[in-house]
Amino acid sequence: MAITPNTINVSAIPVTGNDWHKSLYSADARDEEVIILGESGKTHYIKKLMFRCAVAGTVSIGSGSDGTMTTLHLGPIPLDASSGFFAISFGGKMGLKCDWGLSLVIITSAQAPIMIYAEGRTCKLSS
């Protein structure tokens, strides 16, 4: 069996930036859904992430734009229909760093209801 690594960059979150909290629901999530839109010259840091899906399948989290995930950060995470739940906290002042200027996206393998909670901070590119 081979293990495939994801591109994960957990690092200290800059002190300056805009904090955000997202509570999202989709009755028929499929393919790629945007959690928070990308902003030019900025990056998102995920502090906490939780989702619950109503059917068996996989869920992936990553950075992307224009309907395409370009960097996979977490996943595919297997979920079953009876307990399709996932939660992660990067703790304190750390966060999962998304790619510069790109959206934070979630991809599901099956058309299904999904609830997503995410919190983080968006920071400007420092010079």
Q: Tell me: the pLDDT tens digits for 73-112?
A: 998 988 887 668 899 999 879 999 999 999 999 888 877 7
CB neighbours (10 Å) of residue 64? 21
Mean pLDDT of the chain: 88
- pTM comes to 0.87
User: Comparing 96 with 68, which gets the higher pLDDT?
Assistant: 96
* Percent of all residues in the chain with a pLDDT value above 90, rounded to a whole number: 48
pLDDT digits (tens, 9 = 90+) for 14-30: 999 999 999 999 888 77
